[in-house]
Structure 1
Amino acid sequence: MTCQRRIVSCLLVGISLGLLFTPALGREVSDIKPANPNLCPKGREILKYFQSIYGKRMLSGYNVYVHTPDDYEQTGMLAAIWGRDVQWLPPVDEVIAHVKAHGYLLTLHWHWFFGGDSAWKSKRKTPVNVARVVTPGTPEHATAMKEMAAAADILEKLQEAGIVVLWRPLHEIDGGWFWWTDLDRPENTAELWRMMFRFFTEERKLNNLIWVYSAGVGDLKKKPVELRKRFYPGAEYVDISGIDLYGVNPAEDEEPYWTFFRAMAEVSPGKMLALGECDELPNPQKLAAGRLPIWLYGLPWWGTPSARRPVEQAIATMRHPFVVTLDELPAFGDEDPPPVVGILSPMDDGSAWFPEGSVTVEGYAVDRRGKVVRLEFWANDQLVGQLANPPRQFRWQWTDAPSGCYDLRAVAIDDAGQRFRSNRIHVNVGVVDAARGRPVTASGGENPSAAVDGNYYTSWRAPTEAEEAWIMIDLGQVHSIHQVNLIWGWKIHAEHFAIETAKEAPSQAASWHRVYEGKNLPWEVWKATHRARFAPTEARYVRIHFFRRAARQTWGGYDLAAVEIPIPPSKGAE
């Protein structure tokens, strides 16, 4: 979908929903009365905004861990809500800086390692008696208060920085797998919520928290609504309710969404309902058509690409006009968030090859309070073009691009001088890929041909046990080459590798010559890119030899998405 079509479609969806929307169970919510009567003005403004869009559109989100590839790099769209975990939170000053540098709404949950032991019952050395935790005077109660105080210290720093938090404690509260779920007497778990609420709001004066209740997915026959109600602390302690919903096929399923939506509407009547965690956002086309309940927001647990969240599906949801992304979020309070910019075309999927030399870039740039006054385009950290006072949906032509391989980004600058850098696109100009579709052999592993299929979302995976591995491409004929690009998949890439070439007789050791060696390469979570340049050499066979994995990521084998060998078009592979 082009940028222009996205905005027009958004208007059409809004009009159609205004005409066709009829209230359904759970969509009618009470007037905003914050659970904490002293909730800060910015928090009240956020709640009011939530109520204004509830049942009309769905806010996008994602949970952020090092195990999740960055959605933005794949979809070009930034989520409105980002989720993090108090248990594994980076230094709070880094979190504050990140929130302010992006302007998203922050939600926090807490895999609470009570007493230094695991949050999961199955992994704990000692079980937790929740009744004793909520009973003053017990050692368990003292431990809980000490650990809640440490969490409050973090939340207090966020409050001092003016950051409102969608606070989602005791998540999956009725699931049974975390220590805080008392299946024998759910009222103890409900009291634990109230105990935390009173401590945070009354004693610690944390007035920056919007309290989000989160149930756990599960069979409603085994855990019926009446049982789930016993975990609920009461409407006066909750601002938003919802559930963590897994195992639903977002492309096809409809009834599971309705089943759990209705159940949570009974558990927490009058509350806006959200998906605190999910595999993927519900199908936005079905949401717009009224075939699915409209949750306030959804936070996929998995980044993209992943088995549970394929790239094509993530793009379809994040770019759909029914879904609210960061660029559409209002500025709340007195904040002046930075501009938002994203490149939507070309895609960063291995298809951005422009042998004729002209590159067309399309995307969006918006400032949520002021105005974007300049849009800059950077290739390999060199300024190559700019647009003054760009429209929200921009189109820029790079007509004089020198032949080469680039990391292309856009940078938006607003009228306050704030800058924001876009997603990266691997762009190859005035060259073709001599390795594309050529025969491949490897030392072992799965699907070596994926390294030359032109798709960054497939990959060759070397055996887990192999610290040393290699992959070889037969170019079909001798070419003069001077560069090899390696684009890696998720987490596991080489810290030390060498490139070797041969003109003939690849089975003979004497045929091979080392033309490049890379050492001490820094670890990157996703799409690590190594562009190895060397003196021009004649080669038909190219072998990349890997010696050591970066950051000791030895739990899996090398994950190589692409081997690219750029050469002039006139010398392209047949």
Structure 2
Amino acid sequence: MTKKNSLLFFFMTMAGLQAVLAQKLSNPNSTAQTKALYKNLHNLSKSHVLFGHQDDLAYGVNWKYTEGRSDIKEVTNDYPALYGWDISKIEHQALNNIDGVPFVKMRQYIKQAYERGAVMTISWHVDNPLSGGSSWDTTRNTVKSILPGGAKHELFKVWLDHAATFMHSLKGSQGEAIPILFRPFHELTGNWFWWGKNNTTPADFKAIWRFSVDYLRNTKKLNNLIMVYNTNGVASLEEFMASYPGDDMVDILSFDLYQFEKKQQNEFIKSVRQALQILTPLAEQKHKLVAFAETGFEAVPDPKWWTETLWPAIKGYPLSYVLVWRNAGYSSTMKKMHYYAPYKDDTSSNDFRKFYQNKNILFERKLGTKKIYQ
């Protein structure tokens, strides 16, 4: 072999090694379908972003639990590529989740979407095990109380058992475990949840993340989870990494960020791009994926938000998915419309159809042709 060929072989080998590392899950015992999904998400993220919507099949603006219905589908004649769900209240073995979705229906929706080739992500607004309040009850030292040796550790293990039972029940038509992008303890740099930055320490957060993931993997034998680490925005690399539990416990680096006022358009775009500028090289270094796990502009008051705000914010970055929050419709408690994706009569629906035509954005129909679980 000539010197020139030797160098070429070396660089090809290194490139191949990088590719293999980039597709390696933190759980070595992951199922075949889970490994395939992770590998394919890596490959797709080089040129495509999956579009996701929370609770898409369960309800929308002015409707609930109508088989096959979706606000996204009524605008584009296609479903989202990724579906978000939340299992809050599963810890109490409740019949319905925090937003009233029956877990029986959620299971059905997840299976239907999986069989069509879509991706599932699950968050968990878990109640406060120390105070008995909601996830927004910021009683201090709750995290410490559920660590091994803590007063509520055994209770938290029971809650993990209930969550694991539900996730074990998510099966495909051949009895295989449906892969799940699991996003617990989300928005950890915010101060509104009991696991938030003002209510625990980085050391305790790392410890409870590692305990929870280890318990779900090794005690409950859940080998279909792709673990999503999630902050509220990304102010700096140091802040993002302060509570990071380790590469062996994380597969996707993600953040949440919303726009709240029209005048914030430029600020929102700048903040999203800053986050992606920080996370892209970090993910490349760690061989992880990047995701924009939650976003939106409530009631979408900007008729061109999709093509003139969201797309400019994410354009040019290797992003695995972007998910907008749920379409609850009119909220009697908040006395306003509460939705984040367009519906057929929404003023942004025309712009969303233009967004749908973007060759870099994937919805379910095109994603289904990619055979991402093989």
The TM-score with structure 1 as length reference comes to 0.47
Q: Which amino acid aligns with 1:151?
A: A
Which structure has the higher relative contact order (CA within 8 Å, separation 6+)?
2
Please list, as runs of the form range in 1=range in 2, the aligned pairs for 1:499-510 lying within 5 A after superposition: none
**What corresponds to 1:174 in structure 2?**
189
**What corresponds to 1:83 in structure 2?**
84
Partners of 1:32 and 1:209 lie apart in 2 by 14
Deviation sequence 1:162-182 (CA, Å, 0-9, x none): 311111111112212111124
Task: Pick one of 132, 142, 161 that aligns with 1:129.
Answer: 142
Larger radius of gyration: 1
Unaligned runs of 5+ in 2: 1-18, 62-70, 89-96, 298-304, 326-339
**What corresponds to 1:202 in structure 2?**
218
Q: Which amino acid aligns with 1:315?
A: R
**What corresponds to 1:107 in structure 2?**
121
Unaligned runs of 5+ in 1: 1-27, 335-574
Deviation at residue 98 of structure 1 after TM alignment: 2.0
Larger strand share, 1 or 2: 1
Partners of 1:167 and 1:298 lie apart in 2 by 15
Task: Pick one of 336, 342, 355 that aligns with 1:317.
Answer: 355
Question: Are 1:172 and 1:244, in contact at CA under 8 Å, matched by a contact in 2?
Answer: yes
Q: Which amino acid aligns with 2:143?
A: V
Deviation at residue 41 of structure 1 after TM alignment: 0.3
**What corresponds to 2:75 in structure 1?**
74
Question: Are 2:233 and 2:272, in contact at CA under 8 Å, matched by a contact in 1?
Answer: no
**What corresponds to 1:139 in structure 2?**
151
Q: Would the alpha carbon gap of residues 142 and 182 (structure 1) be closer, same or farther in structure 2, given more than 3 Å must change?
A: farther
Partners of 1:283 and 1:55 lie apart in 2 by 20
Q: Which amino acid aligns with 2:295?
A: C
Question: Are 2:40 and 2:372, in contact at CA under 8 Å, matched by a contact in 1?
Answer: no
Q: Would the alpha carbon gap of residues 260 and 308 (structure 1) be closer, same or farther in structure 2, given more than 3 Å must change?
A: farther
Q: Would the alpha carbon gap of residues 29 and 109 (structure 1) be closer, same or farther in structure 2, given more than 3 Å must change?
A: farther
Q: Would the alpha carbon gap of residues 190 and 316 (structure 1) be closer, same or farther in structure 2, given more than 3 Å must change?
A: farther
Partners of 1:290 and 1:114 lie apart in 2 by 34
Partners of 1:216 and 1:333 lie apart in 2 by 30
Deviation sequence 1:263-295 (CA, Å, 0-9, x none): 334765432111111116964999699954342
Q: Which amino acid aligns with 2:271?
A: P
Is it true that 1:95 corresponds to 2:106 in the alignment? yes
Is it true that 1:192 corresponds to 2:208 in the alignment? yes
Larger helix share, 1 or 2: 2
Q: What's the % identity of the aligned pairs?
A: 23
**What corresponds to 2:46 in structure 1?**
55
Partners of 1:309 and 1:68 lie apart in 2 by 16
Question: Are 2:188 and 2:197, in contact at CA under 8 Å, matched by a contact in 1?
Answer: no
* SS of residue paired to 1:158: coil
* SS of residue paired to 1:138: coil
Is it true that 1:240 corresponds to 2:252 in the alignment? yes
Please list, as runs of the form range in 1=range in 2, the aligned pairs for 1:294-373 lying within 5 A after superposition: 294-301=318-325, 302-305=340-343, 310-329=348-367, 330-333=370-373
Please list, as runs of the form range in 1=range in 2, the aligned pairs for 1:23-38 lying within 5 A after superposition: 30-38=21-29
* SS of residue paired to 2:51: strand
Deviation at residue 216 of structure 1 after TM alignment: 0.9
Partners of 2:104 and 2:313 lie apart in 1 by 43
Partners of 1:306 and 1:111 lie apart in 2 by 30
Question: Are 2:49 and 2:319, in contact at CA under 8 Å, matched by a contact in 1?
Answer: yes
Q: Which amino acid aligns with 2:145?
A: R
Deviation at residue 95 of structure 1 after TM alignment: 2.8
Is it true that 1:272 corresponds to 2:289 in the alignment? yes
* SS of residue paired to 2:254: strand
* SS of residue paired to 1:279: strand
Question: Are 2:121 and 2:182, in contact at CA under 8 Å, matched by a contact in 1?
Answer: yes
